[in-house]
Structure 1
Amino acid sequence: MISSSQIRSARAMLNFSGLELAKKSGISMKTLRRYESQEGIPVANTAVLLSIKACLESYGIEFTGDPLKNPGVILHISD
């Protein structure tokens, strides 16, 4: 799973607005705001979190570490 801080960090690395990520992930902006405002792993629908994760990964994001103890995000830039 991924943490709220990883979602926020990945979005910032990609320079995505909240609305842009919500649209690309197929979720509502309200849902994204709710998830990003929480600490740790969001209390969320697992399918929605997986959709956000898959979307971000498709743009070169790699989630690293334990999402609760040492969450990390790496951006792999394509040539």
Structure 2
Amino acid sequence: MNAVAADEDSQLTSDQVRAARALLQWDQKKLAEKSGVSLATIKRLEPVSGPIKANRVTIAALKRCLQEAGIEFIDENGGGVGVRLRSPKKL
């Protein structure tokens, strides 16, 4: 399995989505517009703690959109999953 497929298969939690939106200063509507996932779906998924329970296409769209905006997902490493905003690349 290549790195992209492996990354897309990793879990995504509602806490990570909310934290990523906060780092990007996006509201739910902007995430919906950028990801192609409906606002109703985002509103349904975010309040439920733990891994997002949605189809793989929805999870992949959310994750890909946030990564393209500069979010890095941090896997469980003893301290819990998380997100961080990637440093801008220097020209």
Q: What's the TM-score, normalizing by structure 2?
A: 0.79
Q: Which amino acid aligns with 1:40?
A: G
CA deviation map 1:12-57 (0-9, x unaligned)? 0000010000110001111001110111111111110110000000
3-state SS in 1 of match to 2:54:
coil
Q: Which amino acid aligns with 1:52?
A: L
C-alpha separation in 1, matches of 2:59 and 2:69:
16
C-alpha separation in 2, matches of 1:46 and 1:38:
17
Alignment of 1:33-52 (within 5 A): 33-52=43-62
Q: Which has the higher contact order (CA 8 A, sep 6+)?
A: 1
Alignment of 1:57-68 (within 5 A): 57-66=67-76
Q: CA RMSD in A?
A: 1.3
**1:71 aligns with one of 75, 81, 91:** 81
Please list every run of 5 or more consecutive structure 1 residues that lacks an aligned counterpart in the other structure.
none
Please list every run of 5 or more consecutive structure 2 residues that lacks an aligned counterpart in the other structure.
1-10
How many equivalent pairs are there?
77
Q: What's the TM-score, normalizing by structure 1?
A: 0.90
